[in-house]
Amino acid sequence: MGPVHEAAATYRAAGHDLVVVAGRNYGAGSSRDWAAKAQALLGVRAVIAESFERIHRNNLIGMGVLPLEFEEGDTASAHAFTGEEEFTFDGLADLCVGTNPVALSLVRPDAPRATVRLRLRLHSRQELAYLRHGGILPYVMASRYPPPSTAGDCWGGATTRRAPSSCRARCPS
């Protein structure tokens, strides 16, 4: 398809969000903050990995990108991803601080639908707030300049990054 930015532009023009599937210790190395920024700017909305480098995971959340992990013992290679899959995530509406179960519904050409169990770890209310707003910058802007209506502040679709107000959940204190 060509350079990554051209492929990302093609998917964006078609209205598709991007998902990265990776192995262990995803994001290790230098320039982790720029790596997270670049992914968000390319249209990556979620990264599914076996594990994350701690700082990069935080940077992904700061950019509004979901750092999803395979369940213990599961790997990317076990699912033989080809890049032709369509992903649907279930369980993002009721996020709370802690470990959140997320179900990935996987649709492949000429194959039955499959479900993969994932988890999203949120270590603080601040991380939860960043994801609900689509990253640090939208969070700060919403805090400083609240919109006329605050309905629906959960991580949502590609265009608005907001879901309907029915997705709101009360998290235990």
pLDDT grade, residue 1 (50/70/90)? Answer: low
Model pTM above 0.75: yes
Q: Are 133 and 120 in contact (CB under 8 A)?
A: no
What element of type H or E holds 14?
Answer: none
DSSP 8-state assignment for residue 172: P
Tokens found for residue 25: 């210790």
3-state secondary structure of 1: coil
Q: Which CATH superfamily is domain 4-147 in?
A: Aconitase, domain 4 (3.20.19.10)
Q: How far apart, in whole angstroms, are the C-alpha atoms of residue 58 and residue 65?
A: 10
Q: How far apart, in whole angstroms, are the C-alpha atoms of residue 144 and residue 50?
A: 36
pLDDT per residue over 31-65, tens digit each? 778 899 999 999 999 999 999 999 999 999 999 99
Which of 64, 65, 9, 13 shows the shortest CA–CA distance to 42?
A: 9
The whole-number pLDDT of residue 168 equals: 37
Tokens found for residue 110: 């000429």
Q: Hey, where are the domains in the chain? A: 4-147
